Amino acid sequence: MKLLLVTMYFPPAGGGGAPPTQAWIHRARSLGPRARRLADELHGRGGLDRLSRQARSLSRRVLVPDENVTWNLTAIPAAVRIARAEGIDVVLTTSPPNSVHLIGAAVKRATGVRWVADLRDSIAAHPHRRVDRAAVRAKEKVSESVARLVARQADVIVAASEAIADEALTLEPAGVVTTILNGADFDDFAGLEYRRTDRFRITHTGSFFGKRDPRPFLTALAESGLEDVVARFVGDFRVADREWAESLGLGDRLELHPYVSRHEALALQRDSDALLLLIPDAGGRGQGVLSGKVFEYLAAERPILAAVPPEGAAADLIRETGAGVVAAPDDVPALTAALSELHGAWRAGTLDGTALSPEDRERLGRAARVEELADLLRGLAA
């Protein structure tokens, strides 16, 4: 079987090493606007400077369903050419961004190959979008059109969570809908060690955008009165959030680290007393989110403070595995209590690592997910 995998991001977040010996990488140039975070560009600016920057950002804000859609101008011809030249049996498109699925539809239409649409996030109701804005609501209307296209034409829809699968089923898809969860790469943490220090270190790795918000947790930290706690944020941090955090007077209890290599990020996770997981509720949209970050934290086997929707999929998994404590992402008193609980166990010397059971390691490991997908693809190409 010959598979064409179409992804906007490579190497994927879960790796970065050399590709398998039977994989070949083809790159299509992106012609669109360079991705930038508008909030940071506009923060602290006024007058003509602010207006000019807003005007320059208009081109990417009006692109639908997302600002990456212009990649299709080069990616669709390249994908069709590869499918024909290599005798491709199955094309698999994986989002985000949602516009990548337009490539799968085009390749299927042009060549007749089978198409698998892999949905890592909701395709119509993204949990991090600010739907209070008219422009965002307009983009979601177009995203709904892409979702209907996927439902009508994809032979298989693979969902990263049951909530995403349920959403796909409401579209009455012509093909099969199946759920294949993200997986944990335990081997990624081999050789990385935890060393206790005289401070309780809680670490968050990843980006901040849309509804994802560090402020409730930082407020909880400030109100906790715990002077020997340091919160480490690894990755980008919005300018407005940084200035707001400074107003809390946290001093050396807050550490902001720039982007680091994946290996360094994993080392920081393992060498933490606890890990901070942030998933916004976003009007109920966050309940179904079961991102790769959840599984990465599980593989780190350090206690997790899960600031996530308490009735959501991530909370359920944290409780099932005994990997940490759960508090609503916007509930400052609950976050303060959760932080104090972890800190108290640490001071008492009872905050051990959260090693998963052999059954959970097998069930949640990425190898099991890979085999599920491989079986699906083999059956589709047969």
* pLDDT tens profile 303-330: 999 999 999 999 999 999 999 999 999 9
- The pLDDT tens digits of the residues spanning 129-179 come to 455 555 566 666 777 888 999 999 999 999 999 989 999 999 999 999 999
Q: What's the confidence (pLDDT) of residue 134?
A: 58
354 falls in which pLDDT band (50, 70, 90)?
confident
Mean pLDDT of 211-239: 94
Q: How many CA atoms lie within 13 A of 21 on its CB side?
A: 0
Assess whether pLDDT exceeds 60 at residue 41: no
Specify the pLDDT at position 123.
81
Task: List all residues 6 or more positions away from 15 whose beta carbon is below 8 Å from its beta carbon.
Answer: 185
Q: Are 128 and 97 in contact (CB under 8 A)?
A: no
275's CB contacts (< 8 A; 6+ apart) are: 202, 203, 204, 269, 297, 300, 302, 303, 304, 305, 324
Contact (Cβ atoms closer than 8 angstroms) between residue 380 and residue 6: no
**Does residue 208 have a pLDDT over 60?**
yes
What's the CA dihedral at 90, 367, 102, 84 to 10 degrees? -30
Identify the pLDDT of residue 111: 97
Query: In order of start, what are the domains of the chain with their CATH numbers?
Result: 3-183+365-381 (3.40.50), 186-358 (3.40.50.2000)
DSSP state letters, 79-130: HHHHHHHHT-SEEEEEESSGGGHHHHHHHHHHH--EEEEEESS-SSS-TTS-
In this predicted model, which residue has the larger pLDDT, 123 or 269? 269
pLDDT at 138: 63
